[in-house]
Amino acid sequence: MTSTASPTPTPTSWTVAPEPFDSPDAVALWRAYYTEVSDRYYLLHEGRRTGLDELDREIAAHSGAELSPPGGQLLIGRYAGEPAGTAGVRLLDASTAELTRVFVREGLRGRGGAPLLVRAAEDAARALGADRMVLDTRGDLVEARALYARLGYAETEPYNDDPYADHWFEKPLSPQLT
């Protein structure tokens, strides 16, 4: 009996490209991201999932409009052509960009998408004129903290007062080689 299993997709199965924050794929990925991180927080701290009304309200309040040109960019990662993850970048000032909304759908994690998304966001930040990237994350998002450390981000002092942030990171962005 011969196997008819399809070959294991490689990192080349990923593509990353800018997309409007309000495209159907971006909206669906934002909802998946927000649902996961919100549920994770509330399960840890309150023993409950996020209520549907609460989820809808918060998603609507944080549309992602700041991830639009000229001061920002939303990137969508596609795995084998399907929307699979996001990374956003926005300028905080002329030389500092913030990395946000780094997310890969659960079933596609561990396949190289997150580093590709972060590197694409770093390239987008450079294109916006930034020479430094900052980000914040929560203590319970240990996978995210490990990813950022692996990619050269160092913990730093807080740069914002986000009540859900426990850790702040930064990374100098060296000029892109041409």
On the question of pLDDT at 134 being above 80, the answer is yes
pLDDT at 174: 84
pLDDT at 129: 96
The contacts of residue 33 (CB under 8 Å, 6+ apart) are 86, 101, 103
- Distance separating alpha carbons of residues 7 and 39, to the nearest angstrom: 34
pLDDT digits (tens, 9 = 90+) for 80-119: 999 999 999 999 999 999 999 999 999 999 999 999 999 9
Is the pTM higher than 0.75? The answer reads yes
Q: Which residue has the tokens 């913030």?
A: 98
pLDDT digits (tens, 9 = 90+) for 19-58: 999 999 999 999 999 999 888 888 888 898 888 898 888 8
Contact (CB, 8 A) for 124 and 98 = no
Cα–Cα nearest to 34, from 68, 7, 53, 62: 62
